[in-house]
Amino acid sequence: MSKFVPATRVSRIKSSASVAAAARVRELKAEGRRILDLTVGEPDFDTPDHIKAAAVEAISKGETKYTSVTGTPELQKAILQTIELRTGLHYTPAELTIGGGAKQVIFTAFMASLDAGDEVIVPAPFWVSYPDMVLANDGTPVVVPCGEDVGFKLTPDALAGALTDRTKWVILNTPSNPTGAVYSPVELRALADVLAGYPHVYVLTDEIYDQIYFGGGRLPSLVEVAPGLKDRVLVVNGVSKAYAMTGWRLGYAAGPAPLIAAINKLQSQISSCPSSVSQAASAAALTGDQGFVRDSVEIYRSRRDAAVAGLNAVDGLSCATPEGAFYAYVNCAGAIGKTTPEGATIHDDQDFVLYLLDHASVAAIPGSAYGLGPYFRISYATSLDIIEESIAAIDKAVQALS
């Protein structure tokens, strides 16, 4: 039998750590264990009924065929209006790409722009997929540690220190997965000032969590703060998180027309277009009643408050208050070097997370997966009861360390 040899780009990358963690939780549950699952990267709410109804209607009307690579006119219009409301800037259809999730759009953007040796600045902690997406597309991720002391955010000095003449992209993710950190207008302006001196550098601003923002008002936007950068910023978003539509696979990005044309050219050969039914549902999500988004943000806020207060009360753990998304990034430095009741040493956050799984039946994701330890990420896209039960179990497990 012939032996399959994957392409080198496959051996350069890892499978997604969060997908792997979710798979492990499923395995343990299948073995009959009750697991308090704090790994989940998607809303625990169902997609709102009016969005589902729009999908059903699209199916009944026969909107079940290929659409244009650039999406249906209805969805294009809905997205362009949404982006204008979000950024205060006008974008045209030629500046818009619509794909099968923000994840696919980001991947295609790298495929459309990176050649071997091109560098992409990835502030850490980062969403697990960025470095692997860069590697899969022949680029070189340049990971820049952004510690808790700087709010887990890229500073102008750190940016200036990482930029080279090979830099193609800087990634900003606000609100951030895994930390929930949000860049303020002042911070965005300061980064834009640095970027003004590097006209060959593009910025990918991943704003998939923009609506899950606890700061009041609109999330600060880089292109709004620095409109002069508009022709080299790719604003990425989608319907997954705000509308509980992760399974519908619909994301989009707005940016300079030549980049968008390159992305769309690739998309025409990759998937032709996103699902027509998901496009109809997404148009309904963006143009319909926004009560669901408002209500869910308030629910996330109360869960965040409970999670942050509970975790900070655990002796040995600490946690900054996230300003958006539905994650908290918990500092577990106080547990490193300690000994478990079985006599094993907790060397790093991976050991700690395994210890929590064994002793507290709590599943979380180690900070090392996000490029900055010793931390672990919890998701509070789960019920308040589960959050409280998990924190009590974590507390008991941490206090059992010596």
The upper half-sphere exposure of residue 235, i.e. CA atoms within 13 Å in the direction of its Cβ, equals 27
> In the numeric block, which tokens belong to residue 170?
């800087």
Cross-strand partners of 235: 205, 254
Return the number of the residue (119 or 210) whose C-beta is nearest ligand PLP: 210
Rule CB under 6 A: say whether 321 interacts with ligand PLP.
no
Return the number of the residue (178 or 374) whose C-beta is nearest ligand PLP: 178
Q: How far is CA 338 from CA 62, 334, 359, 373, 401, in A?
A: 62, 8, 15, 16, 6
For ligand PLP, the nearest residue by Cβ is: 101
Rule CB under 6 A: say whether 140 interacts with ligand PLP.
no
- Give the total of residues touching ligand PLP (CB under 6 A): 13
Rule CB under 6 A: say whether 131 interacts with ligand PLP.
no
> At closest approach, how far in Å is the CB of 41 from ligand PLP?
4
Q: Which of residues 28-47 bind ligand PLP (CB under 6 A)?
A: 41
Inter-residue contact 370 to 178 (CB < 8 Å) = yes
> At closest approach, how far in Å is the CB of 237 from ligand PLP?
8
Return the number of the residue (41 or 322) whose C-beta is nearest ligand PLP: 41
> At closest approach, how far in Å is the CB of 372 from ligand PLP?
15
Q: Candidates 44, 132, 206, 210: give the one binding ligand PLP (CB under 6 A).
A: 206
Rule CB under 6 A: say whether 139 interacts with ligand PLP.
no
Rule CB under 6 A: say whether 16 interacts with ligand PLP.
no
Rule CB under 6 A: say whether 366 interacts with ligand PLP.
no
Rule CB under 6 A: say whether 275 interacts with ligand PLP.
no
Q: Which of residues 78-117 bind ligand PLP (CB under 6 A)?
A: 101-103
Q: Candidates 72, 167, 173, 275: give the one binding ligand PLP (CB under 6 A).
A: 173
Q: How far is CA 359 from CA 11, 21, 72, 341, 351, in A?
A: 34, 17, 51, 10, 12
> At closest approach, how far in Å is the CB of 16 from ligand PLP?
9
> At closest approach, how far in Å is the CB of 173 from ligand PLP?
5
Return the number of the residue (151 or 310) whose C-beta is nearest ligand PLP: 151
Rule CB under 6 A: say whether 279 interacts with ligand PLP.
no
Q: Candidates 67, 97, 155, 177: give the one binding ligand PLP (CB under 6 A).
A: 177
Rule CB under 6 A: say whether 371 interacts with ligand PLP.
no
Q: Which of residues 211-240 bind ligand PLP (CB under 6 A)?
A: 238, 240
Rule CB under 6 A: say whether 175 interacts with ligand PLP.
no
Q: Which of residues 238-267 bind ligand PLP (CB under 6 A)?
A: 238, 240, 246, 251
> At closest approach, how far in Å is the CB of 98 from ligand PLP?
11
> At closest approach, how far in Å is the CB of 294 from ligand PLP?
21
> At closest approach, how far in Å is the CB of 144 from ligand PLP?
17
Query: What residue ranges bind ligand PLP (CB under 6 A)?
Result: 41, 101-103, 127, 173, 177, 206, 208, 238, 240, 246, 251
